[in-house]
Copies of this chain bind each other. A is one copy, B any other.
């Protein structure tokens, strides 16, 4: 593919004031055990439908992030986010509780990074505080995209497990003299379709788009993987990640040792999720817990977060279309 300069956006003042996470029981039983702000015992969250549970998780995560940042609702100018449900209803209905303007997004599992780039852009045109949130719920996604849960369909070994979780980030224009992680640069990726037809194998469908975005970003910014403490994709899964390593190698970039995947790192092997986690909540969970912790604790100075999304719908699969992928990227720095 051809690369044209220069799509990378720069943000003068987009500080990460806070992050908040709410995770399901299986997610909290995984690798990041104990790192989430709230872990649910029951993924119904006291509601009568899974969809309402997902919505309540959004409401909780947004309120949690605002409170953790020592703000109140009226301080937040905009809420930017999305989810996997048709018409992004979890996000839209959660937005009813806020005084903030609402910017609804959909780019599948790339939605969280998309929200960080849009949110950072809004801070440059007049917004003061923005909350960015993205999430998913295993049980709502499974029955919308695949099969009724009660059917107990055998899962393919190349599948990922849609995680139950919502992550919310407060971006703010002013750091008040504090040393806060900053969203310094960002880029929305192109939609890339290599003709993968297997809706179970989304990692393979998304890996070419992840490669395309990473190469474009490195070229635009004249940087290399060595300039970063870590590069997180979300969510290629284990198979997709190994494909990405090969694709990047073909392009002359060695990412071994730098590359991690939010999905592949979410669950333990014994949890039988096969390729790992996925879902619009996955990178939101890992960024707002572990990655933000490493940046704030001083272990890391500069990371890349590349959100990957598979853009098909059940209808396009039924009509015989292949699966396009998209990858958006942000650079987060503590400087």
Where the two chains meet, the residues of A that have a C-beta atom closer than 8 Å to any C-beta of B are: 2, 4, 6-11, 49, 51-52, 74, 77-78, 82, 85-89, 92-93, 95-96, 98-108, 114, 118, 120-122, 124-127, 144, 187-193, 311-316, 319, 321, 324, 326, 328
Distance of A234 Cα from B7 Cα, bound (Å): 32
Contact A312 B87 (CB under 8 A): yes
Decide yes or no: A188 and B102 within 8 Å by CB, A51-B319, A85-B315, A96-B324 being known contacts: yes
Distance of A321 Cα from B118 Cα, bound (Å): 29
Scoring A11, A78, A125 by chain B CB atoms within 10 A of each residue's CB, the highest score goes to A125
Give this chain's copy count. 2
Distance of A101 Cα from B315 Cα, bound (Å): 24
Distance of A7 Cα from B76 Cα, bound (Å): 9
Contact B99 A2 (CB under 8 A): yes
Contact A321 B86 (CB under 8 A): no
User: Shortest beta-carbon distance, A124 to chain B, in Å?
Assistant: 5
Scoring A98, A120, A127 by chain B CB atoms within 10 A of each residue's CB, the highest score goes to A127
Distance of A99 Cα from B192 Cα, bound (Å): 9
When distances are taken between beta carbons in the complex, the residues of chain B under 8 Å from A106 are 82, 87-88, 104-106
